[in-house]
Chains A and B, each alone.
Chain A
Amino acid sequence: MRYSTFNKNPVNPLHEPMFFGNSVNVARYDQQKHAIFEKLIEKQISFFWRPEEVDVSRDRVDFQGLTESEKHIFISNLKYQTLLDSVQGRSPNIAFLPIVSIPELETWVETWSFFETIHSRSYTHILRNLFTDPSDVFEDIVINTEIQKRASDISKYYDDLIFYTQLWQTQGEGEWEVRGKKYTVNQRELKKRLFLCVNSVNALEAIRFYVSFACTFAFAERDLMEGNSKIIRLIARDENLHLVSTQQIINLWQYGKDDPEMQEIAEELREDARDIFMSAVAQEKEWAHYLFRNGSMIGLNEEILCQYVEYIANMRMEAIGFDAPFEQRSNPLPWMNKYLVSDNVQVAPQEAEITSYLVGQIDSEVSAEDLGDFEL
């Protein structure tokens, strides 16, 4: 089915499924099939921040003082996060926008992806401050084998969905041969790919960031790399919101609150979804191993980090209807929580200026006296 950027058929989005219905025409939000996505948009926009607002200049001195193994941990994590956000800054748009069929979800996807681009820009902000020329770090991301292993697992479900969607858009349903390989394209196959893709994105945002978050906050616990830590706190807050959005989608399917065929597929592919999650857990543990191969850092080691991955994985898997697969029920890194609390609730004074978006407020507080010497 050929994609149209403005579907001319009158459609009632209140009766459309989240995906693979009639494509969206009017971007309207006065009525919503799934109001949650509109709420997520509002929340996400209220979190708006700019990397440049966070002063990272002191980190440079801290960085010089780190041991070689700590530098390896710090830089490797930044590389991995750069990879994750490079993927997330484009893939939800490319994979989901052509097949989404309700306006509030379409706009959520765009809002979500936009924030991933803020994350990407923040890594440049951090690295530029640490290195006169950060090219080596960026260039290593595509050649480093440890990162590559993860990259292929992260992108393959997106790529598969995108490819099937393209076939469907250009050829329609049927059996197609592309460069000697046969593909069966029909609604069911497309929806299966969508299901796997959403589960893989869910696993990505549920646990893949947390090993590096833990390292960042472990440095911050020692009053090191605090500019970086402030940025990562903002990223972590956004990531929680992204995670909740894919949890919502998965649960809406499972509970039959959207497309009934997706409910069937959720049942049918339940084990595949679990496998996606479990292999993400295994990869994160391998990552922890790689990080600490030259030595650990104060406050963290491979074992405790792996326990934390299990702790987080239990929580995330229960949220989408799986039993907790691991024994680890208590939080092995209790200090993590204070970095993950949303600032709306707990605002330490020195952080207030960076986490809330104050531009509007500043403007409205300018009074006539402030402009006393100002002449036109």
Chain B
Amino acid sequence: MADTYKVTVNGQHHLTVDPSQPTTLLEVMEEAGLEPHYHCRDGFCGACRVQLVKGEVSYITDPLAFIRPGDCLACCCTPISDIEIQQ
């Protein structure tokens, strides 16, 4: 397991995630001041959907919203590799 994973947002913001911390992708984006979209923060509304351009995430909460291929739900997933997302 890498020490940290890199998260690239819209090709311009570069964030780091510590996989030993139970933080969601949404929280990582918020901490970086990015104002990501969200409503429920619990995987059932789909408002936090972002495009996962590269890399992999794993779900901490079982999502109820449909995840279209190439998307992920930021409020309930965490990166498990370096990732690139678009929002």
Residues of chain A whose beta carbon lies under 8 Å from any beta carbon of chain B: 36, 39-40, 43, 237, 240-241, 243-244, 247-248, 251-252, 255, 315, 318-319, 321, 330-331, 334, 337, 340-342, 344-346
Contact = CB atoms under 8 A, between A and B. Distances in A.
A247 B41 contact: no
Contact of A315 (B42, B47, B64, B66): B47
B35 A244 contact: no
A124 B59 CA distance: 40
B39 A251 contact: no
B37 interface: yes
Given A331-B35, A331-B37, A341-B39, A39 B62 contact: yes
21 contacts: A40-B64, A240-B40, A241-B45, A243-B46, A244-B44, A244-B46, A244-B64, A251-B68, A319-B65, A319-B66, A331-B35, A331-B37, A334-B35, A337-B38, A337-B39, A341-B38, A341-B40, A342-B41, A345-B41, A345-B42, A346-B41
Given A39-B62, A248-B66, A243 B38 contact: no
A240 B68 contact: no
B35 A36 contact: no
B45 A243 contact: yes
A240 B39 contact: yes
B49 A318 contact: yes
A38 to B, nearest CB: 11
Contacts of A240: 39-40, 44-45
A341 B38 CA distance: 8
A244 B45 contact: yes
A237 B65 CA distance: 13
A54 to B, nearest CB: 20
B37 A315 contact: yes
Contacts of B41: 341-342, 345-346
Interface string B14-48: 00000000000000000000010111111011110
B64 A319 contact: no
Interface in B40-84: 40-42, 44-47, 49, 62, 64-66, 68-69
